Amino acid sequence: MNEAIRALQPTELWNHFADINAIPRASKKEEKIIEFIKSFGENLHLDTHVDEVGNVIIKKSASKGMENRVVVCLQSHLDMVHQKNETTNFDFDKDGIDMLIENNWVTANGTTLGADNGIGVATILSILASSTIEHPPIEALFTIDEETGMTGAMGLKGGLLDAKILLNLDTEEDNELTIGCAGGIDITASGEYETATADSSFEFYKVSLKGLTGGHSGIDIHKGRANANKLMNRFLILANEKFGIQVQSIDGGSLRNAIPRESFSVIAIETNQYAAFALFAQEMAKIFKSEYKTTDSNLNLTVQPYSAGNEVINSKFILQLLQTIYACPNGIYRLSPDIKDLVQSSNNLSRVLVQDGKYSIQCLTRSSVETEKMDLALAIKSTFSLLHANIVYGGSYPGWQARPEAGIVKMMTALYSTLHDGEIPLVNACHAGLECGILGTNYPQMEMISFGPTIHGAHSPDEKVSIASVEKFWAYLLETLKSIPVAA
C-alpha cells in the first residue's frame, strides 16, 4: 500500500514521507534518520551541518529574484512517537511503517503513523530538492528528540542560524496558526518496596484494561478521555476495600506525552470469593463504559486466570501506593482566564510500573505559565512525598509567549484569507509543547509561527493525516514563501 501513498498529490512530498517512514526513528534513537537527512543535503550539494547534539541544519540559497528577501528557517523534528496496538506484530527498531489509505486519510496498520512530524520533515525536503519553487534564502532545521525531552531544541546553540522568521511545521489543524504554546516538565517518583508471599488460599488473575482512545497529552487533554492508569487504580483500590485482594504487579501506560490507553495488573484473591469478584469486575466495567461512552466507546475490562509465582506486594505499601496515585492530579488543572477554551495547566499520569520490588510513576506536567507549571509540579511532588518516594524533575522546557503583532502572523493571516475566499484562520496558542519557546531563548528576535495539515490521533495507533489537507497546507506554504518580505 505504500506505493499508493507515493502516487498521492503533491507527489514529491508524499514520496519523501514514504522514504522517511521506512526508517525507524524513535526519540533518542534517531541515528539512522540523522544520517539520511545529512546525506540528503550533501547529495544536493547544499551546506549541511550536524551539530553536537544531532540536529541537522541544511542551508539553501534563494531562488532567482528572491535573494533580497528575509532569511526563513523551516523547522520540524525528526523523531516520532512509537505506539502500537497490543495485537500488532511490529518491531519499531527494525520495521518501516506500513501505511494505508482509508476514506481520504493516510493511516498506519496498527501503529502510529509518524505524520507528527514526518509530514513537516517531508515538506522541507521537498523545498530543498526543488529547482522550480520560488523561495527566499532557506535554513532547514531538523531537530531531534522533540517527543521525549526536546533536547535537540535545547541543545541548539545561538549563532548557527541567520533567519529572522521561523516556520514551524508541527500544528495539526490546517485552519490554525499557532503563535504560542505550553511549557512542560517531567516528574518521576520511584522507590522500592517489600514483598510478601500470597496466602495459599489465594489464586492469581490478570486484570486487563484496554481499548481506550488515548491521544496526545497536550492537544487532547481537554477532551475528557479516560486515563487507563487512573481507572485501573480506581478498580484496584475498590477491589481491595471489598475483597482484600493482593497485588503482584501493575503495568500501565507507556510514553509520558501519550494519554494511557492500556493498563494491566496481576492480582490474587481468595478462591471462595472469585464469583463475587467477577461480578464486581463486570459492574465496574459497566460503570467505566457508562462514564466514558462518548470518549472511549471501545473500553474493555477483563479478568482472566493467570499463572504466576506467589510473591505479592506488601499489603501496607500497596494501600499507600493506591491512595497516593488516587490523589495525584490528572487532566485539566486550570483553564486560561485570558484565552477562551485554552487549557493553561494540566498533568498527565502517564506511566505506572510496579513489579519485582520496585515502582516508578511518571507524569508530564504542562502550563503556559511557568510559575503555575512549577506550582503544579510541587503539588505532585508533595503527593508522592507522602509515599517517601524518590522524586526527580527532568526535561523542563519553557512555553512560547504569543506575539500576535508579529509581521509574519499578520502576513500569513491575510494570505490564508485571500487563498480561502475570505475565511479567517484561527490564530491561537496551544497546550502542546512546541519547540519555538526553547528556540526563542537563543534567537529572541526571530518571529515564529506554527502551522501544518490536519492530523488526528497523534501519539496513538489511530493517528491519521488528511490527504486533502496536505495539499491545502502545501499550497499555503508555497504562497507564504513567495510572500516573504524584503530584508530591511
Nearest to 97 by CA among 214, 168, 5, 217: 5
Contact 88, 110 (CB under 8 A): yes
Whether residue 329 is preceded by a cis peptide bond, meaning omega within 30 degrees of 0, is: no
With a cut of 50, list the residues of the chain below it in pLDDT.
none
Distance, in Å, from the CA atom of 176 to the CA atom of 195, rounded to the nearest integer, reads 52
Contact 265, 253 (CB under 8 A): no
Distance, in Å, from the CA atom of 342 to the CA atom of 430, rounded to the nearest integer, reads 7
Protein fold of 2-181+400-482: Aminopeptidase (3.40.630)
Q: Any catalytic annotation for residue 79? A: yes
Tens digits of residue pLDDT in 275-328: 999 999 999 999 999 999 999 999 999 999 999 889 999 999 999 999 999 999
3 state SS of 451: coil
Which residues, in sequence order, are bridge partners of residue 363?
A: 187, 349
Work out the number of other CB atoms within 10 angstroms of the CB of residue 455.
Answer: 27
For residue 360, the one-letter residue type is S
pLDDT at residue number 191: 98
How is residue 221 annotated by DSSP?
A: G
- 95 — phi, psi (to 5°)? -90, 145
Contact 156, 439 (CB under 8 A): yes
> Cell numbers 508522592 correspond to what residue?
384
3 state SS of 67: coil
Tens digits of residue pLDDT in 48-79: 999 999 999 999 999 999 999 999 999 999 99
DSSP codes joined into one string, 1-23: -HHHHHTSSSHHHHHHHHHHHTS
- 309 — phi, psi (to 5°)? -70, 180
pLDDT at residue number 1: 57
Which of 19, 79, 220, 296 is flagged as catalytic? 79
Nearest to 330 by CA among 365, 375, 372, 297: 365
Distance, in Å, from the CA atom of 174 to the CA atom of 172, rounded to the nearest integer, reads 6
Q: CB within 8 A of 461, min separation 6: which ones? A: 83, 84, 85, 88, 108, 110, 111, 112
Q: CB within 8 A of 482, min separation 6: which ones? A: 134, 135
Q: At what angle do helices 115-129 and 31-43 cross, to 10 degrees?
A: 20
Q: Any catalytic annotation for residue 146? A: yes
Length of the chain as a residue count: 488
Q: What would the CATH number be for the domain defined by 185-397?
A: 3.30.70.360
Which residues, in sequence order, are bridge partners of residue 310?
A: none
Domain chopping of the chain, boundaries: 2-181+400-482, 185-397
pTM over 0.85: no
Distance, in Å, from the CA atom of 454 to the CA atom of 174, rounded to the nearest integer, reads 5
pLDDT at residue number 432: 86
Distance, in Å, from the CA atom of 414 to the CA atom of 342, rounded to the nearest integer, reads 23
54 grid coordinates: 544531532
Which of 19, 30, 139, 146 is flagged as catalytic? 146
Which residues, in sequence order, are bridge partners of residue 168?
A: 75, 450
Distance, in Å, from the CA atom of 334 to the CA atom of 477, rounded to the nearest integer, reads 34
